Amino acid sequence: MSSFEASVNSNVVKKLKALIVDDDTITRMILKALLMKFGVKTHEAKNGQEAILAHHSGACFDLILMDLYMPIMNGRQTTKELRDMYVCSLIVGMTSQEKEEEKKSFMDAGLDYYYQKPLTNDESHYLVEKIKGNALSLSKLKSIDLIHMLIY
């Protein structure tokens, strides 16, 4: 890897942002600590409505961790609404729900992945690698655009 690529990589990782959407304080604390270990900056929302409001005010995230059962607006409705707003972040559903039909309707709302709570170290590592890959491809595309702009 060239030093230029290494510096692009480290800049991309530094800028990774995640939104934790969960009404449970314990879950938010643990997810925050887990993601911080991998260098991801976290923001929190206590229900779906807060997550939607954050996006309305211009926030965008590489990763959204979404609980299913929350007061005011649940994870399924929130995911659907975010996708309707063309939010293309990696959205990962997390529940302690075992019922297959609940999982399926949550996935159908627009999730990329679904995990049983609590999220493990390996699972969060996998997700961070995934968003790092997405962010790197995006930054490469932007560099290509920039080169094109300079040439033409």
Position 149 contacts other proteins (CB under 8 A) = no
Question: Between β-strands 63-67 and 90-95, what pairing exists: parallel, antiparallel or unpaired?
Answer: parallel
Q: Which residues contact 19 (CB under 8 A, 6 or more apart)?
A: 42, 43, 44, 45, 51, 54, 59, 61, 63, 64, 65, 89
User: What CA–CA distance (Å, rounded) separates 56 from 29?
Assistant: 25
Q: Tell me the closest approach of the beta carbon of residue 121 to other proteins, in angstroms.
A: 6
User: Of 1-40, which residues contact other proteins (CB under 8 A)?
Assistant: 24-27, 29-30, 33-34, 36-37
Q: Tell me the closest approach of the beta carbon of residue 61 to other proteins, in angstroms.
A: 21
How many other C-beta atoms can be found within 10 angstroms of the C-beta atom of residue 148? 9
Q: Please give the size of the binding site for other proteins, defined by CB under 8 A.
A: 16
Q: Tell me the closest approach of the beta carbon of residue 34 to other proteins, in angstroms.
A: 6
Query: Which residue bears the tokens 């890897």?
Result: 1
User: What CA–CA distance (Å, rounded) separates 132 from 65?
Assistant: 16
User: What CA–CA distance (Å, rounded) separates 4 from 116?
Assistant: 39
Q: Tell me the closest approach of the beta carbon of residue 58 to other proteins, in angstroms.
A: 29
Q: For other proteins, which residue of 80, 103, 117, 130 counts as binding (CB under 8 A)?
A: 117
Position 72 contacts other proteins (CB under 8 A) = no
Q: Looking at beta carbons only, is 37 or 142 nearer to other proteins?
A: 37
Q: For other proteins, which residue of 7, 120, 137, 143 counts as binding (CB under 8 A)?
A: 120
Q: Which residues make up the interface to other proteins (CB under 8 A)?
A: 24-27, 29-30, 33-34, 36-37, 69, 96, 117-118, 120-121
